[in-house]
Amino acid sequence: MSLFTATRRSRRHARSGFIERTLVDINHALEQSVFAEKLARQKGLLQGIDARVKVIALLLLLLAVNLSHSLPVIAGLYGGALLLAVLSRVPFGSYIKRTWAFTLVFTGIIALPALLITPGAAWVHLPLGVTLTQTGARTALFLLFRAGASVAMAVLFVLTTPWNSILKALGVLHVPDVIVLVLGMTYRYIHLLLHTANDMFLSRQSRILKRMTGAEERHLAADTAGTLLEKSLLISSEVYLAMESQGFRGYPRTLDAFRMRWCDWGFAAVIVMVSAAAIWLGR
């Protein structure tokens, strides 16, 4: 194959249409969900801990991160999350990407004004008379580190715990049934909506014989969004009835019985001590 032909093919691939890009994104989302469920059932440190203990441990660690006023302490808690990820056999690169992909974007948008407008001693002078202060930089770093550590712990908890076990643990810990119901419905409905959208785009792609213009792609996106909204209103009750027919009564009933073992008590004791030490050292 000539270099000219390869270049043309790469350009044609780079200019893939709206339908192709949407199909790729939907399939990627579904694959990630399946990957998370498989990962939660692998053998690892956190996978073997009782789901109730992990829920309480997550709350304690999030409390320690957000109450700490010391960057080294927050960094140490984040390092502990990375160590737990390694011991739980979570793919390190994927875990880091999941943690910081949106944290840097959304938290950075919030932290940027604090970096620019917080009064304090001058740190860096930028063009157009903009001055970054030491207080602003410290405030932005605190926000980024706290958000990053919190997201890392939450992602690690979700990746190492089957979703049904999470919902059952919330029910056992007396979380209101309506919250458990909404979480269960949302999780299942997102999957159903993704599958529906995937089928719609795939059927539309099979009937298109030429490349669409930008205006046609925007028109297709609007039509698809409206159809999905209509479908969501029609099948939402069917999803709930299907869940009820399979035994759902506010929170899921699984074959796994929660039993506290010595490793669960030991892990809980370590988390309590680490959280207390982090709060005390970071006060």
DSSP letter string, 240-269: HHHHHHTT-SSS---SPPP---HHHHHHHH
Own/partner long-range contacts of 91-96 (Cβ < 8 Å, ≥24 apart): 95/152, 95/155, 95/156, 95/159
Length of the chain in residues, anyone? 283
Owner of token pair 């506010």: 250
Report the 10 Å Cβ neighbour count for 134. 13
Say which residue, 85 or 209, is predicted with more confidence.
85
The model's confidence at residue 18, banded by pLDDT at 50, 70 and 90, is low
The model's confidence at residue 129, banded by pLDDT at 50, 70 and 90, is low
Q: Among 69-83, 105-119, 247-261, which is the least confidently predicted range?
A: 247-261
CA pair distance 120, 131, nearest whole angstrom = 10
- Extended beta strands in 22-168, E state: 122-125, 131-133
For residue 77, is pLDDT > 80?
Answer: yes
Q: What angle do CA 16, 21, 25 make, to 5 degrees?
A: 160
Structure tokens at 237: 């009750």
The model's confidence at residue 5, banded by pLDDT at 50, 70 and 90, is very low
Structure tokens at 26: 């939907």
Phi (first) and psi of residue 94, to 5 degrees:
-65, -35
Identify the helix (H) or strand (E) that includes residue 52. Answer: helix 51-67
Residue 129 backbone zone (phi > 0: left; psi -120 to 50: alpha; other: beta):
left
Structure tokens at 222: 């609007």
Q: Per DSSP, what are the bridge partners of residue 133?
A: 122
